[in-house]
Amino acid sequence: MNKLLYCVVFLLLCHSLSFAQDYSTKSTSVTIYQNNFATVQQTLELKLNESPSLFKYQIPSINVISSSIFLTYDGEILEQSISAPRTPFDNWSETSIGKEVTIVSPNGQTFKGKVAKFDDELIVTTNEGNSIFLKDLEGFTIIFNNYQPELFKKPEVHWLLKPKKTGTNLANIVFHTSGINWKTKYFAFLDENKQRMNLFAYANINNQSGIDFENVNLKIVEGELNYQENYTPFKSVAISEARSQPMLSSAKFETEESLFEYYQYKYPQKVTLKNKENKLLQLFATENIPYKKIFVYNLYSYPQLDRKEKPMIYIAFKNSKDNNLGMLLPKGDVDFYQKTEGNIEFIGQSSLKTAPVGDESKLFVGNATDLAVEVKNAESVTIGQNRIERRYKVVCHNFKNKDASIEIVYYPDLQSMELIKTNIQPKEKQPMKLVFEVPIKANSTSELNFIVQVQK
């Protein structure tokens, strides 16, 4: 009796449902994070003529994280359900065996043959007698007997809604999608004569989400969020190469804002991000930043003797307002160029870690050509039951026609280091590091001699 009553109520409910398929998108906002995902928020205008109403929404990509989808509006949500997408193997597994098939790969390569298997994977015997095994058909075109079936279908979300008022209702749909990422790309132009640098920062956005974002409000977030990577989209899709070179825009992001414990940048105008597109949008540009060019050689406890080695080149600068910066510098890759008589020449590349205001960055760009460091002596003497004395002689060569200096950074392999004797006082002294700045005259050499004791 109870089952009969339930069925009658259910049928009456279904008969009275109104399908809210009449809706329009008022606006779309996209916030991109550095974890290869984005949050998408759409404001919709729904026509809910009856209560309850069934609203169907087609999810724009199979990369959308199903567990992240939610809707808010002025009313109750009685039910939310998600239909999984049809896979390429559902309708063709039994009827396709032995059929002629043409396969076009994402890069345009064409194969012809007959279907040998089509269930959890597609196996095709080509006309040349080879076998092709495919488990992921995303991006492939499959043609059976000159007919191209619909292999993929976008999933849908169904909401059973009970609005407070019928008619026009505003609703917000929010979801996460994978396959979209951003990172900072810097271009630094050095003036060696003035020791000044011009710095241009861009947000390099790579959209492989399967969604074309048309005229959206765009924000990007710098920060390390705890994001559950085991959240899976409807179907795993490998990130493919972008279909175009980075596209430059003349506008730039507004000044960063604090978002929780992260930083958020808002683009001042609507943006279009096509699927498989790579786009550069300017974050900021600043000029006349003072920098230092530093030559560094790392010395360890057991170096190779009598071998001239090239010191590393670092570009160092401080993030401060006095240096025409004074804003958070997001992590990213830096391309360095030098201005030479009206031309610019590429001189190296490095990676910048996130640099808050007040932080100093040292970026490795290459190895020096006309400077060298040669360790002539690295002697170890046991002077007690638990003490070792180490004696070093380091020769620094300068083949330039101008004076230079090299930072010798010593890292002991044992703790409790004590500096006993040196001919050059260290500029930095830490328990596990000594930094000596060795000046060298043009076309000359200089020596660093020091003795340390360490505890076994």
Is it the case that residue 345 has pLDDT exceeding 90? yes
Give yes or no: residues 310 and 162 share one domain: no
Same-domain check for residues 61 and 137: no
pLDDT of residue 11: 39
Q: Residue 13 — pLDDT band, cuts 50, 70, 90?
A: very low
- Read off φ and ψ for residue 385, nearest 5 degrees: -65, -35
**Same structural domain for residues 310 and 441?**
yes
Residue 173 φ/ψ, nearest 5 degrees:
-110, 130
Mean pLDDT in residue range 89-97: 59
The answer as to whether 218 is a domain residue is no
The Cα 444–Cα 447 span in angstroms is: 11
Looking at residues 408-417, what average pLDDT do you find?
91
Q: Quick count: other Cβ atoms within 10 Å of Cβ 412? A: 20
What tokens appear for 410 in the block? Answer: 């010593």
Distance CA 37, CA 178 (A): 4
Higher pLDDT pick, 410 / 242: 410
- Are both 173 and 99 inside the same structural domain? no
Looking at the structure, do residues 391 and 430 belong to the same domain, yes or no?
A: yes
Average pLDDT over residues 99-125: 78
Query: Model confidence over 422-448: pLDDT tens digits?
Result: 999 999 999 899 999 999 999 999 999
336 in any annotated domain: no
User: Can you tell me the mean pLDDT for 254-264?
Assistant: 69
Q: Are residues 412 and 312 in the same domain?
A: yes
Question: Structural domain tally of the chain?
Answer: 3
CATH of the domain at 115: 2.30.30.520
Cis before residue 52, ω within 30 degrees of 0?
yes
Q: How far is CA 281 from CA 48, 50, 266, in A?
A: 39, 45, 11
pLDDT value for 245: 42
Asked if 363 and 297 sit in the same domain, the reply is yes
Q: Is residue 72 part of a domain?
A: yes
Residue 171 — very low, low, confident or very high, per pLDDT cuts 50/70/90? very high
Rounded to whole angstroms, the Cα distance separating 300 from 120 reads: 56
pLDDT for 111: 83
pLDDT band (50, 70, 90) for residue 253: low
For the stretch 145-159, pLDDT in tens is 666 555 556 788 999
- One-letter amino acid at 106 equals P
Same domain, 136 and 74: no
> Within this chain, do residues 20 and 65 fall inside the same structural domain, yes or no?
yes
Q: Above 80 in pLDDT, residue 268?
A: yes
Verify that 172 and 306 share a domain, yes or no: no
**Looking at the predicted structure, is the pLDDT value of residue 390 above 70?**
yes
Report the share of the chain in percent with pLDDT over 90: 60
Query: Rounded distance, CA 352 to CA 363, Å?
Result: 7
User: Is residue 416 scored above 70 in pLDDT?
Assistant: yes
> What pLDDT score does 221 carry?
92
AA letter at 1? M
Q: Give the predicted TM-score (pTM) of the model.
A: 0.76
Residue 213 placed within a domain: no
pLDDT confidence tier of residue 256, bands split at 50, 70 and 90: low
State the residue range of the domain holding 435: 291-317+358-456
Query: Which region holds residue 260: left if phi is over 0, alpha if psi is between -120 and 50, else beta?
Result: left
Q: What's the rounded mean pLDDT across residues 406-414?
A: 94
- As a whole number, the mean pLDDT across the chain is 84
- Place 244 in a pLDDT band, splitting at 50, 70 and 90: very low
Give the residue with greater pLDDT, 438 vs 90: 438
308 is a domain residue: yes
75 and 132, same domain (yes or no): no
pLDDT at 139: 65
Specify the pairing of strand 247-252 against strand 277-290. Answer: parallel
b/e 6-44 (16+ beta carbons within 10 angstroms → b):
eeeeeeeeeeeebebeebeeeebbbbbbbbbbbbbbbeb
Q: How far apart are CA 246 and CA 351, in angstroms?
A: 19
State residue 8's pLDDT score: 37
* Residue 106 counted as domain residue: yes
pLDDT, one tens digit per residue, over 21-73 is: 578 999 999 999 998 999 999 999 999 988 899 999 988 887 898 889 999 99
| 17 confidence band (pLDDT: 50, 70, 90) | very low
pLDDT bracket for residue 16 (50, 70, 90): very low
Phi/psi-derived region of residue 342, left when phi > 0, alpha when psi is between -120 and 50, beta in every other case: left
| Amino acid type, 153 | K
Interval 239-262 mean pLDDT? 51
In angstroms, rounded to a whole number, what is the distance separating the alpha carbons of residues 409 and 51?
74
* Residue 110 and residue 160 in one domain: no
Most confident of 79-93, 232-246, 374-388: 374-388
d(CA 217, CA 212): 13
In this structure, the strands spanning 444-455 and 418-422 are: antiparallel
pLDDT recorded at residue 100: 81
Residue 61 is assigned to a structural domain of this protein: yes
